[in-house]
Amino acid sequence: MIKAIVFDLDNTLLDFSGFKRESALAAAKAIREAGVKAGERELYGKIFAIYETRGIEYQRTFEELLSGYVLGPHLHEHAKQAAIIAYEKKKYALLRPRPKVVGTLKKLKQSYKLGIVSDAPREKAWQRLILSGLDHLFDVVVTYEDTKELKPSKQPFLRVVHLLGVSPREALFVGDNPERDIIGAKKAGLLTCLAKYGCQRYSEEENVADFTIERFEGIVKVVKELEE
């Protein structure tokens, strides 16, 4: 019988990809309106090209983007700060839990310890939890700084079960990424559940999770199966 349920944060509890797209578009529009001679779609594409190269959590995206244009120091700073503010405004407006997440977590919390394992920097993960109103629902939050290793390393998963005071086989991990989330959790000995609704790339043949859910609230049925 499981004693703890551990979740990935981005794209599992939150629509992180949707937030990133909308925030990047808002930033691109702000850069153009500040006076940079480039189209919104061009700027948007370059933002995501930087994410692909540097990682989705890269913190100097707009500085790097604008360094690719010949700009005076005044326009450079104007455009950078306009992009940062537009991005942050959109983040505050859009960061909400996926449907049924809050109610489902409250129900699960009555019987299980709840944890988070995220590759996000500690500050960013906590900001997202607080903005989405999920910050009081978890007993343990493990981020990149806690182990200095990214999924699919087994170390973040071993860290979270240690802090929760359970063995790996007493914990179920729920995540949207087959390679990082599911493989990493399996290496650490946790039971696994793929949040198919959050997958950016899904292959039935490559799905090695113990369970799969189409909607977040489907985790309740999975837990009941494990209790039987």
pLDDT tens by residue, the chain, 228 residues: 899 999 999 999 999 889 899 999 999 999 999 999 999 999 999 999 999 999 888 999 999 999 999 999 999 999 999 999 999 999 888 889 999 999 999 999 999 999 999 999 999 999 999 999 999 999 999 999 999 999 999 999 999 999 999 999 999 999 999 999 999 999 999 999 999 999 977 677 678 999 999 999 999 999 999 998
Please give the structure tokens belonging to residue 61.
Answer: 């995206």
**What pLDDT is attached to residue 204?**
75
Residue found under tokens 């703890």: 4
Asked whether the whole model's pTM tops 0.85, one would answer yes
**What pLDDT is attached to residue 205?**
67
**What pLDDT is attached to residue 202?**
67
Q: Which residues pair with 10 in a beta bridge?
A: 14
Q: Where are the alpha helices (DSSP H) in the chain?
A: 16-34, 40-54, 61-66, 73-94, 101-109, 122-131, 144-147, 155-164, 183-187, 219-227
CB-CB contact of 50 with 64 (8 Å): yes
Task: Please tell me whether residue 163 adopts helix, strand or coil conformation.
Answer: helix
**What pLDDT is attached to residue 194?**
97
Q: Give me the numbers of helices (H) and strands (E) for the chain, helices first please.
A: 10, 6
**What pLDDT is attached to residue 1?**
87
Fold of 4-14+96-227: Rossmann fold (3.40.50)
Task: Please tell me whether residue 63 adopts helix, strand or coil conformation.
Answer: helix
CA 20 from centre of chain: 10
**What pLDDT is attached to residue 152?**
97
The residues, any chain, with a CB within 8 Å of residue 42's CB and separated by 6 or more, are none
Residue found under tokens 């087959």: 178
| CATH 1.10.150 location in the chain | 17-94
CB-CB contact of 12 with 195 (8 Å): yes
**Among 121, 125, 117, 124, which residue's Cα sits nearest to residue 158?**
117
The residues, any chain, with a CB within 8 Å of residue 33's CB and separated by 6 or more, are 82
**What pLDDT is attached to residue 72?**
96
| CATH 3.40.50.1000 location in the chain | 4-14+96-227
Residue found under tokens 């990214």: 150
Q: Is the dihedral of CA 116, 121, 122, 127 positive or negative?
A: negative
**What pLDDT is attached to residue 21?**
93
- Please tell me the CATH code under which domain 17-94 is placed: 1.10.150
